[in-house]
Amino acid sequence: MADSANDSSNEPFDLVRLCLDEIVFIKLRGDREITGRLHAYDSHCNLVLGEVTETVYVVEEDEDENEHVRTVKKQSEMLFVRGDSVVLISPHAA
């Protein structure tokens, strides 16, 4: 295992801390994704984000029972995300 004394992150939330004031990608339950600037977080993984783009994937069935995925995008200036809906937090790749 790698020597953690030289690592800048020792705990999972240290990785989140390193993303403060950075653009992050967040995968949520319910086929939702968010990209925005991380302003704050807490030990429950509740997040406060700014400059947010939310993407919701909606699966629709037509008369022939074929499934189609429709994408809905929403913009928000500020957003609070409840921690129990967070599946993944990652630095956003430009």
Query: What are the C-alpha distances in Å from 92 to residues 2, 8, 38, 47, 70?
Result: 25, 19, 11, 16, 23
Query: What are the C-alpha distances in Å from 60 to residues 2, 11, 54?
Result: 47, 40, 19
Tens-digit pLDDT profile for the chain (94 aa)?
A: 444 455 555 677 888 888 899 999 999 999 999 999 999 999 999 999 999 999 999 988 888 888 888 999 999 999 999 999 999 988 876 6
CATH number for the region 31-91 comes to 2.30.30.100
The two three-digit tokens of residue 38, written as one number: 């991380």
User: Which H or E run includes 14?
Assistant: helix 12-17
| pTM passes above 0.75 | yes
- What type of residue is 16? V
